[in-house]
Amino acid sequence: MLIFTEIKSLQQKIKSLKNGTTIGFVPTMGALHEGHLSLVEKAKKENDIVVVSIFVNPTQFDNADDLINYPKTIEKDLSLLKSFNCDIVFTPTPEEIYADDIQSQSFDFDGLEFQMEGKFRAGHFNGVGTIVERLFEVVKPHKAYFGEKDFQQIQIIRKMVEKRNLPVQIISCPIHREKDGLAMSSRNTRLTTAQRAAAPFIYETLKKAKTLFGTKNASEVIKWVENEFKNHPLFNLEYVEIADEETLLPVETKNPTKKYRAFIAVFAGKVRLIDNISL
Ligand code: PAF
C-alpha cells in the first residue's frame, strides 16, 4: 500500500498507471469503521486499483469544536486499509489542498443545499463540494463511493458531477449499522456510555416512522417522531423531515411514483448524529 501526502507525487503515480487502469476512489475523513471498509471492499471488486483519501476537511465544518474534536486515528486507519488491500492512501495537509487560502468555493446545487443539513450547517455543502471536486481533480477516479448515511451529500455530489460534467460515476452504498441498529459513524466514538446505550432509539424511531408512513401522511409522522423525542433525557431532535429522494423537498402529498426517505438529526450532548431510512 502506497501512502502519499503530496498531490504532485500522487499524480505522478496515477499518471504512471498502465493505460485503461480503472480507479475506484473512497474519500474519507478517517476514523474508519466497517462502513468505510465496506466501500473499500466494493471499490476493490469493481476497479483495478483503490485510492482512499483521509482528510478532515476544515471548510465543511460549521462548528469549530466539532472540527477540533473530530476523531483522528491515522495509524489504525492505515493498518485497516492495508488489511483490506487498499492500493493507495492520500493523506494531505490542509495547506497541500488549499495552499494559504482555506476557503470554500460557492456552489449552486439547484436548491438541494438549502434542505435539511443545509438549514442547520451553514456553508457545509460548499465545503463538501470544494473538497470533493478537488479530490476528483487530483485522483481522477472512474468511480467514487459514498455511504447513504449522508444521503443528502450523495445527491449534492451527483448534482455537482452532472452540472460540472465531471468524468466520474458516483456509487451510493447502503448504510452500515451496528448490531443494535445505530448507523455507523466516526462520531459514535464520542458518545458517553449512556448515550451509546440509548442511541439505537434513533433507528428504532425511524423504523416505526416508516411503518406509520404506510397509513398516515408526512406531517402526522413528523409530529409523532417529534413527540417521541420531546421528553427524551439524552437526545435533542434537531430535525426530522420526510423528503423526496430526488429533490429533497419535504413531502406534501404522497405520490406513488416517487421515492421518499425520512431524515433525522439528533444531538447527544454535543455530538450530532444523523440517520435516514427509505420509506
Ligand atoms: O462524508 C465524508 O466523510 C466527507 O464529507 C467527505 C465526502 C470525505 C468530504 O470531506
For 139-168, how does the pLDDT look when each residue is reduced to its tens digit (9 = 90+)? 999 999 999 999 999 999 999 999 999 999
Mean pLDDT of the chain: 97
The CA distance from 197 to 227, in Å, is 21
The ligand 1 atom at the shortest distance from the C-alpha of residue 128 is 9
| Sheet containing 235-244: order of strands | 235-244, 260-268, 271-278
Ligand 1, pocket-test mutation among 102, 126, 133, 153, most atoms within 8 A of CB: 153
DSSP state of 183: B
Ligand 1: list residues with CB < 6 Å: 27-29, 57, 60, 128, 131-132, 150, 153
**What letter would DSSP give residue 11?**
H
Looking at residues 33-51, what average pLDDT do you find? Answer: 98
Examine the domain organization and report whether 246 and 125 are in the same domain.
Answer: no
22 shares its domain with 147: yes
Query: Would residue 109 count as lying in a domain?
Result: yes
For residue 25, being part of any structural domain is answered with: yes
What separation in Å is there between the alpha carbon of 216 and the centre of ligand 1?
Answer: 35
Q: In terms of residue numbers, what domain contains 132?
A: 2-173
Specify the CATH number for the domain of residue 128. Answer: 3.40.50.620
* CA 146 to ligand 1 centroid distance, Å: 8
Over residues 214-264, the pLDDT tens digits come to 999 999 999 999 999 998 999 999 999 999 999 999 999 999 999 999 999
Catalytic (active-site) positions: 36
Who's near 270: CB < 8 A, 6+ residues apart? 65, 66, 69
DSSP state of 250: B
Quick one: pLDDT at residue 231? Answer: 87
- Residue 39: strand, helix, or coil: helix
Query: Quick one: pLDDT at residue 9?
Result: 98
Residue 253 maps to a domain: yes
Nearest atom of ligand 1 to the alpha carbon of 27? 8
Are residues 160 and 205 located together in one domain of the fold? Answer: no
Q: Per the domain annotation, does 270 fall within a domain?
A: yes
Residue 203 pLDDT exceeds 90: yes
Residue 137 has which C-alpha cell?
481533480
C-alpha distances (whole Å) from 31 to each of 23, 60, 80, 92, 224 are 23, 17, 10, 15, 34
* Ligand 1 binding pocket mutation candidate from 29, 39, 60 (most atoms within 8 A of CB): 29
Q: Are residues 151 and 210 in the same domain?
A: no
Q: Which among 122, 146, 173 is the end of a domain?
A: 173
Q: Which atom of ligand 1 is nearest to the CA of 53?
A: 8
Residue 87 near residue 50, CB atoms below 8 Å: yes
Residues 119 and 210 reside in one and the same domain = no
Which among 173, 202, 237 is the end of a domain? Answer: 173
- pLDDT digit string (tens) for 166-192? 999 999 999 999 999 999 999 999 999
Q: Does 179 map to a domain?
A: no
Q: 59-97: per-residue pLDDT in tens?
A: 999 999 999 999 999 999 999 999 999 999 999 999 999
Judgement on whether residues 140 and 190 belong to the same structural domain of the protein:
no
Amino acid, res. 138: V
Among candidate residues 173, 203, 236, the one where a domain is terminated: 173
Distance 211 CA to ligand 1 centre (A): 31
Q: Whose CA is nearest to atom 5 of ligand 1?
A: 128
Residues 145 and 243 in one domain: no
Residue 155 lies inside a defined structural domain of this protein: yes
Q: What angle do CA 250, 251, 253 make, to 5 degrees?
A: 150
Q: Do 135 and 206 belong together in one domain?
A: no
Number of structural domains (the chain) is: 2
d(CA 41, CA 84): 7
**Cβ(175)–Cβ(149) under 8 Å?**
yes
Cα(275)–Cα(271) distance, integer angstroms: 13
CATH number at residue 192: 3.30.1300.10
Same domain, 143 and 202: no
User: What is the mean predicted confidence (pLDDT) over 126-134?
Assistant: 98
